[in-house]
Chain A
Amino acid sequence: MNSVIEFQNVSKRYGNRWALRDVSFTLEEGKIIGLLGPNGSGKSTIIKLILGFISPTEGSIKVFGEKIGQAALSRIAYTPEFNHLYRWMRVGDVVNFVKSFYPDWDDGREAELREFLEVDYALRVRELSRGMAERVKVLIAFARKAELYLLDEPFSGIDPYSRRKVVDALVKSLRAEGETILFSTHLVHEAEKLFDYVVFLRDGRIVLEGEADRIREDTQKSIEDVLIEISAGEKEGR
């Protein structure tokens, strides 16, 4: 299998604070990867580094075998944890705006997701609830046939109904082979069944990684319980 993302001894420092310390991993194509850890563990930093939003203080990053640039960005679909859509636009304008940049946009998939997620194109972004905004973000990401999907905390602060809709939309959209999803979250319960591979982070370091089934088998615990244990370890300073 080809590697989609390669991190080699990557560290990132903001001022005097290290957000990431000496992180190395390789993620292969066609998998759903959970990037798990408590708040402030470095999950979003990893996603921003992949997108080239920030540069590593140390180490090197390769996406699709090369340094991040326009070519790699055209193969990535990204949704951040907050609403990053233009508030003055109508949902339909947002869809058309994003669509015009990506030749891999699939109109059929868009129509299907629009109906399934119950998205109203006539509404303005500023009128959307948090849950609905999340559904729009998922729609504009998964209406594409991208090779890599980066989802940063897609369940953060949204209602259970929207959360369920988002998970179901993800399951529904995962059809094509070779699509890789990197999914960062600290709310594992809904997404646990989706993961093929998981990376656990704490204090900017990888503390555990591997096939999800293997970890469940080895620890005799669910992924959620392993995460709780790791988070508790952070609080106790272990």
Chain B
Amino acid sequence: MFKTLLIKEFKGEGEWIKWMCIILLAIGLLLRLKMEWHPSLLFILVWGALILLIFYRAIDIFVKEWRHKTTHLLFSLPVPRWEIVLAKFTVIVVMTVLTIGLGAAIEVWLAVADKAIDFRFNMTHIYWMVAGMAQIVLTSSILIASKVTSYTVYRFRKLFFVVLFILLSYLVHRWLLPFTSDLLSQMGVPKVKVLITYQSNTGLRHETVDFGFWSSFISLTIWTLAMFGLSSISIKKVEVE
């Protein structure tokens, strides 16, 4: 039954996923052909816009069920409500991985062709990419959790959503995330010193960053799961009007 829910979610988001891929591929191809353009800036702008689009989908993936009253079909099905949440989370995660992954692949392709960002393609780059991906998934899951939780409030749900989103983001990013990260470091999860090489206006630059990749990644995963838990608990309490 979960499989059916998942397929439904993928088909429902199919148009968005299709257009995200088409836009990324089109801009990549355009930059590959137009050498005189400043490719990195343009590409990053488009890529950034698509990441914002993921956040929008994270909110809308539940809102649209209420807007079109399809909640009456979805919640009358004999499935646990957490499976409904999990199916929606999965689609957002896949959307993120696809957008970042495809964007990264195009970036590498452009870099190899020597027409785009002069990042050296190494493990560091991949670490940052994965950490960024996890960060986007976490932010999307905070958006989903605060949206679903806001439906437990009969009135003022929009205000409740905004306040809860800010609160959860602050809580996770400023306090809980570093705390988990430190805890994991103390437990022996190593921090990695990474060298980032990038092209600036003044030439090639090198910077070293202490990057607790694994601890950050694990804590991001833990907090994403916590947001999934919050969404699953909230959706059980949500009233379908």
A contacts, CB < 8 Å to B = 14-15, 48, 51, 53-55, 70-71, 73-74, 76, 78, 80, 82-89, 93, 97-98, 100-102
Contact = CB atoms under 8 A, between A and B. Distances in A.
Secondary structure of the A contact surface, majority rule: loop
B78 A15 contact: no
B68 to A, nearest CB: 6
A214 B4 CA distance: 47
Given A15-B155, A70-B80, A86 B1 contact: no
A53 B71 CA distance: 9
B78 A73 contact: yes
B240 A53 contact: yes
Given A15-B154, A84-B72, A86-B73, 17 more contacts: A14-B154, A48-B241, A51-B75, A53-B240, A53-B241, A55-B239, A70-B78, A70-B79, A73-B77, A76-B76, A82-B69, A84-B69, A85-B70, A85-B73, A86-B70, A88-B15, A97-B8
A100 B72 contact: no
B4 A97 contact: yes
Contacts of B154: 14-15
Contacts of B68: 84, 86-87
A88 B169 CA distance: 33
A97 B11 CA distance: 12
Contacts of A84: 68-73
Interface in B66-114: 68-73, 75-80
Given A53-B72, A85-B70, A88-B12, A101 B240 contact: no
Contacts of B77: 73, 98, 101
A106 B80 CA distance: 24
A54 B1 contact: no
Cβ-closest 4 pairs across A and B: A74-B78, A53-B240, A84-B72, A73-B78
Interface residues of B, number: 23
Given A53-B239, A54-B240, A100 B73 contact: no
Contacts of B239: 53-55
Contacts, number: 64
Contacts of B8: 86, 97
Given A80-B69, A84-B73, A101 B155 contact: no
A101 B70 contact: no
Contacts of B73: 84-86, 98
A130 B112 CA distance: 56
Contacts of A87: 68
A51 B241 CA distance: 12
Contacts of B78: 70-71, 73-74, 101-102
Interface in B154-212: 154-155
A7 to B, nearest CB: 18
Contacts of A73: 76-78
Interface string B6-43: 00100110010000000000000000000000000000
Contacts of A88: 11-12, 15
Contacts of B70: 84-86
Interface string B197-237: 00000000000000000000000000000000000000000
Contacts of B72: 53, 78, 80, 82, 84
